[in-house]
A and B are shown apart, each in its own frame.
Chain A
Amino acid sequence: MKEYTYLPEVRRVFRCTVPDENIRQVFLVDGILQEEDNEKDGITLKRGAEEKGLYMRVQGDHFGETIQIISVRSEDLSCPLEFTNEWELEPGAGIQIIVCDHTLNDHLYQTSRFSKITLGENARLDILFMQNEHIHSRYRLDMIANLDKGSQLDCHVLSLYGGIINNKIHAVMNHPGAVCRMDGLYLADGEQHIQYDIAVVHNAPDCFSRQLFKGILDNHSRGSFNGAIKVAPGAQKTEAYQANHNLLLTNEAKVTTKPQLEIYADDVKCSHGASIGRLDEMGLFYLRSRGIPLAQAKMLQQMAFVEDVLAGIRTLAIRERLEKMVESRLRGEFKKCSNCTMHCC
């Protein structure tokens, strides 16, 4: 495992690890890029508009690297913050991006992160958003992706912790042959509030999209999922699927789910499914009858519930790391750390 990288500008020791030797780490503190504008190994990295956020362009011959973007809110700036991160992949380029969002203390942070993604022909982007802040933070992600012919976007969003989390995710396919997979997992407890607004737009024929979003809600938390699929006239042979499943652990937790399909083409395969349920009593008894204590049985059932979302993360080392984080999150260990906010991740 790679040694912890410390962020020298931040006084309190801050750790963010990814168990892969070759991951390049890029830091953003309060939206400011912590390195000079540079160009290396086919990747252009520079500050975004008004010196905030980042702009990254990946050359067409570049394929397979992973970059971790560690974006933190520090004690130096407590006012609401807005910035834009932009990724542009040239035709044929491929890259994996992990965006980790953290807060370094429990100030009442409010952060809006716009993400603009442009995929050239046959480009491929795997992007993972790790939302791990604290109970007083307000987090907003506003992502828009444009997919060119034959390109592929795999987007994972993991809402681990945060007071109010708002995710607005939008993907548009204007050219044939594009593939868009979106997976999300939201874990809420206490008084947390998590909202997802998804829109996948099929403007061209022969594109494929799939959405799989799952949530586990405990205590008095609230969740809401609005998922739209739009298939324009002429976007024949579209395949578009959506699923949203929710597990409520208490009688007080609430979730609303609203699938919306707007289809204006007649030769398509589209489906949606939504469910809200609780832990399976018979399953719990089955596990307990093998000597597994109730708390552990509940944990196994929750991990089983989220398994297919995590299975979609292709890099094994990252997937295993996330499984551990999700498990410790579900055990309530993040809550205990809420005064510390480092979350030891």
Chain B
Amino acid sequence: MGKTETVMLSIKDLCVSIGEKEILRGINLEIKPGEIHAIMGPNGSGKSTLASVLAGRETFTVTGGSATFMGKDLFAMTPEERARLGLFLGFQYPVEIPGLTIVNFMKAAINEQRKFNNLPGLSSGEFLKMMREKMAVVEMDPSFVGRGVNVGFSGGEKKRNEIFQMAMLEPTLAILDETDSGLDVDALRVVAHGVNKLKTKDNAFVVITHYQRLLDYIVPDIVHVLYKGQIIKSAGKELALEVETKGYDHLINEK
């Protein structure tokens, strides 16, 4: 008998509502280490909801189905427990926190992570060195460390900051929610470069996007099309091109 491949994230028949409104209606998805998944779909199809629910946002209610992450029941964990287990959400709209510097924010996050992994805390010198290295990955100006989290950042700077945080935390599974929206070509390349540099055979990425453009830089193994809360088609990277040229209508009609 062949060796069973480890599944990092397994989602079964996931149904999610906000208030009375049903948003996800039976999602099935399996993600294995080393994979890059792309999720596409028209506006309002539930892409961002899926990302938020997996990260643990409490405004949504899971009404059915299950999700297992690293062998654990994902929905039984708090957002911080999920993060410490290696889940990362790159926000579509990163939150501004005036008065909290990026350095203090990351110090708190890294300390928690190291505590969880039974590692000693980093010295200030070690920490700053790590910050500098990871900022270089996303070509972020070092002067940003002392600035308030996302305060006064341009759209591109906010997204770079998300990838920078991802580089700091080195997650096992990163979900990037429309990280490409609002980016110019140069910023897009920087973000994609960051992702490619962090990719290993042991981690995985879920890239949520509207445009095929990002997928030229981050080449997915599997592309899923989400429509009205269900995955209506999964295929190789050529599906993204098909969507780009023909739109979603023919997939919806096919269904």
A-binding residues in B (CB < 8 A): 55-58, 78-80, 82-84, 88-89, 91, 94-95, 97-100, 104-105, 108-109, 112-113, 116, 148, 165, 169
Closest to B108 in A: A292
Do A283 and B108 touch (CB < 8 A)? no
Evaluate whether A288 and B100 lie within 8 angstroms (CB atoms) in the complex, with A283-B95, A296-B112, A300-B105 already known.
no
CB distance from A246 to the nearest CB of B (A): 15
Closest to A299 in B: B108
Chain A to chain B: the 4 pairs with minimum beta-carbon distance, closest first: A304-B99, A307-B99, A291-B83, A304-B100
Task: List residues 151-199 of chain A with CB under 8 A from any CB of chain B.
Answer: none
Out of B55, B97, B99, B113, name the residue touching A289 (CB < 8 Å).
B55
A-B contact pairs, 29 of them (CB 8 A): A282-B95, A285-B56, A285-B58, A286-B97, A287-B97, A287-B108, A288-B56, A288-B79, A289-B88, A290-B109, A290-B165, A291-B84, A291-B112, A292-B80, A292-B108, A293-B78, A293-B112, A296-B112, A297-B80, A300-B97, A300-B100, A300-B108, A301-B97, A303-B100, A304-B97, A304-B100, A304-B148, A306-B99, A308-B99
Contacting residues, chain A, for B116 (C-beta < 8 A): 291
Closest to A306 in B: B99
What CA separation (Å) do A46 and B88 show in the bound complex? 63
What CA separation (Å) do A7 and B58 show in the bound complex? 53
A340 CB within 8 Å of chain B: no
Contacting residues, chain B, for A303 (C-beta < 8 A): 99-100
What CA separation (Å) do A286 and B108 show in the bound complex? 13
Closest to B148 in A: A304
Q: Which range contains the number of A residues in contact with the other chain?
A: 20 to 34
CB distance from A213 to the nearest CB of B (A): 15
Do A290 and B78 touch (CB < 8 A)? no
CB distance from B176 to the nearest CB of A (A): 13
Evaluate whether A289 and B89 lie within 8 angstroms (CB atoms) in the complex, with A294-B80, A296-B112 already known.
yes
Task: Map CB proximity to B onto A123-160 as digits: 1 under 8 Å, 0 otherwise.
Answer: 00000000000000000000000000000000000000
What CA separation (Å) do A282 and B56 show in the bound complex? 12
What CA separation (Å) do A127 and B79 show in the bound complex? 44
Do A291 and B56 touch (CB < 8 A)? no
What CA separation (Å) do A301 and B148 show in the bound complex? 12
Do B56 and A289 touch (CB < 8 A)? yes
What CA separation (Å) do A305 and B95 show in the bound complex? 15
What CA separation (Å) do A224 and B122 show in the bound complex? 43
Do B79 and A285 touch (CB < 8 A)? yes
Do B169 and A290 touch (CB < 8 A)? yes
Contacting residues, chain B, for A286 (C-beta < 8 A): 91, 94-95, 97
CB distance from A299 to the nearest CB of B (A): 9
Task: List residues 243-299 of chain A with CB under 8 A from any CB of chain B.
Answer: 280, 282-283, 285-294, 296-297
Do A290 and B100 touch (CB < 8 A)? no
What CA separation (Å) do A287 and B83 show in the bound complex? 10
Do A291 and B109 touch (CB < 8 A)? yes
Out of B55, B56, B100, name the residue touching A307 (CB < 8 Å).
B100
What CA separation (Å) do A286 and B58 show in the bound complex? 12
Do A291 and B104 touch (CB < 8 A)? no
Contacting residues, chain A, for B100 (C-beta < 8 A): 300-301, 303-304, 307
CB distance from A275 to the nearest CB of B (A): 13
Do B95 and A290 touch (CB < 8 A)? no
What CA separation (Å) do A282 and B92 show in the bound complex? 12
Contacting residues, chain B, for A304 (C-beta < 8 A): 97-100, 148
Interface centre among A294, A303, A307 (most CB of B within 10 A): A307
What CA separation (Å) do A49 and B42 show in the bound complex? 79
Closest to A291 in B: B83
Do B80 and A288 touch (CB < 8 A)? yes
CB distance from B102 to the nearest CB of A (A): 11
